[in-house]
């Protein structure tokens, strides 16, 4: 994987689709606009207010943190499928997938692998290892097809040895997943390990395009939809709770004269604080009425799976182990729950 693969003349047919490279930068911009439209509850005036005040850096930061795992998926899966098509079909050059795989340099593959290694959850790491070994084996088969001993080493011996090591490493956790009633976790841990030795060689030529080119086409159609569905749920504005004084006319009898407004901060100026409530309503709170405000962090969701791999929880990524995080036992602020601070009611 040291450089692009030079396609033989018989595999270099087909017109390059340069329009795809032009359209790629438009996809993140479309995601950002879609996120603001979703946040505004499809109200154009609210969306225009958000566009005017939301920080572009905040939007881009939210996009990167939420979807940093996605580019390695497209790069590694596309490279593996393209390499499989190249070794399986003489007419592979007609496919954009084969041309893209042949021109993807090794440093891009290794960079994608490094990013995935720290951002993918542990239960997806067997798939990541499988993809890297498959890419390596197919690359050796393409570059050194005249060296059968080297091809046999890379495409047979190495995958089998890695598969056995994977069984030793992930087998106990897979059995624990079966006993815990989590067949999907067992599948994610074992299927890549068991399937690795069968993915490093050519497939029958008549079905090569079906299992590679058209699978990649389906991924290009479904993948952006899934990515957009995930990103529209990502926070792009800070969530706060603001204690405000109720108008004097409303402070009658036993009615509280302090209320809490929860929402996301759009902007703060010298006159008011503009909040976007959960229902899509925009609230302008005069600064003179503000008693206090607090940042409300995202709630910590309990893990879905109880399975661990040698003590490591399968739903956590390496990045979550390395980066500092807030305490799980930290009590939420009552204002984030909609209640004023004691003594101000």
Among 231, 249, 277, residue at a domain's last position: 231
Same domain, 26 and 126: yes
State the pLDDT at residue 194.
94
State the pLDDT at residue 118.
94
State the pLDDT at residue 69.
92
Among 183, 200, 231, residue at a domain's last position: 231
Same domain, 245 and 224: no
Name the most confidently modeled range: 4-13, 124-133, 206-215.
124-133
Name the most confidently modeled range: 90-99, 168-177, 269-278, 291-300.
168-177
Same domain, 225 and 268: no
Confidence of residue 59 (pLDDT cuts 50, 70, 90): confident
**Distance separating alpha carbons of residues 60 and 42, to the nearest angstrom:** 21
Same domain, 322 and 255: yes
State the pLDDT at residue 11.
44
272 contacts 287 by C-beta, under 8 angstroms: yes
State the pLDDT at residue 207.
87
Same domain, 288 and 257: yes
Alpha helix (H) ranges present in the chain?
A: 19-23, 26-39, 44-53, 56-67, 70-88, 96-103, 106-119, 125-143, 148-152, 158-179, 183-195, 205-211, 213-231, 318-322
Residue 343 lies in a domain: no
pLDDT value at 7 more than 60? no
pLDDT value at 134 more than 70? yes
pLDDT value at 251 more than 60? no
**Distance separating alpha carbons of residues 7 and 11, to the nearest angstrom:** 6
Residue 57 lies in a domain: yes
Confidence of residue 18 (pLDDT cuts 50, 70, 90): low
State the pLDDT at residue 112.
95
Same domain, 60 and 126: yes
151 contacts 172 by C-beta, under 8 angstroms: no
Same domain, 122 and 98: yes
Same domain, 182 and 314: no
Residue 3 lies in a domain: no
pLDDT value at 104 more than 50? yes
| Mean pLDDT rounded to a whole number for the chain | 85
| Range 340-343 contact pairs with CB under 8 angstroms and sequence separation of 24 or more | 340/243, 340/256, 340/258, 340/259, 340/260, 341/243, 341/292
Among 173, 198, 231, residue at a domain's last position: 231
State the pLDDT at residue 156.
92
Same domain, 255 and 214: no
Residue 345 lies in a domain: no
Same domain, 225 and 262: no
CA angle 271, 272, 276 (to 5 degrees): 160
Residue 122 lies in a domain: yes
- Closest of 143, 113, 153 to residue 130, by C-alpha: 113
Split into its structural domains, the chain has a count of 2
The residue segments making up the domain with residue 28 are 9-231
Distance in angstroms between the alpha carbons of the first and the last residue of the chain? 67
Q: What is the mean pLDDT of residues 86-93?
A: 80
State the pLDDT at residue 17.
52
CATH at residue 288: 2.30.30
Same domain, 200 and 65: yes
Same domain, 249 and 201: no
Residue 342 lies in a domain: no
Residue 211 lies in a domain: yes
């Amino acid at each position: 994987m040291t450089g692009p693969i030079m396609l033989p003349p018989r595999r270099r047919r087909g017109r390059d689709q340069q329009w795809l490279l032009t359209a790629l930068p438009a996809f993140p911009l479309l995601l950002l606009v879609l996120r603001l439209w979703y946040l505004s509850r499809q109200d154009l005036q609210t969306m225009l207010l958000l566009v005017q005040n939301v920080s572009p850096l905040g939007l881009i930061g939210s996009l990167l943190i939420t979807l940093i795992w996605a580019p390695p998926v497209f790069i590694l899966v596309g490279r593996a499928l393209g390499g499989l098509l190249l070794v399986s079909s003489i007419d592979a050059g007609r496919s954009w997938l084969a041309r893209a795989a042949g021109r993807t340099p090794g440093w891009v593959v290794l960079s994608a692998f490094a990013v995935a290694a720290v951002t993918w959850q542990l239960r997806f790491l067997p798939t990541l290892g499988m993809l890297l070994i498959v890419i390596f084996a197919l690359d050796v088969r393409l570059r050194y097809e005249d060296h059968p001993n080297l091809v046999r080493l890379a495409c047979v011996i190495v995958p089998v040895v890695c598969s056995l090591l994977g069984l030793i490493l992930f087998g106990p956790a897979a059995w624990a997943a079966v006993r815990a009633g989590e067949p999907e976790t067992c599948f994610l841990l074992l299927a890549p390990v068991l399937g690795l030795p069968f993915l490093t060689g050519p497939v029958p030529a008549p079905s090569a395009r079906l299992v590679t080119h058209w699978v990649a086409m389906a991924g290009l159609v479904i993948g952006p939809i899934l990515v957009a569905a995930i990103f529209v749920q990502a926070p792009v504005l800070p969530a706060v709770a603001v204690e405000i004084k109720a108008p004097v006319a409303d402070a009658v009898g036993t009615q509280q004269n302090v209320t809490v407004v929860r929402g996301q901060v759009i902007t703060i100026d010298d006159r008011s604080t503009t909040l976007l409530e959960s229902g899509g309503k925009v609230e302008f709170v005069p600064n003179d009425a503000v008693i206090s405000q607090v940042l409300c962090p995202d709630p910590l969701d309990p893990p879905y799976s109880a399975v661990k791999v040698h003590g490591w929880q399968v739903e956590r990524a390496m990045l979550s182990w390395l980066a500092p995080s807030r305490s799980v036992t930290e009590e939420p602020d009552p204002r984030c729950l909609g209640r004023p601070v004691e003594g101000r009611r």
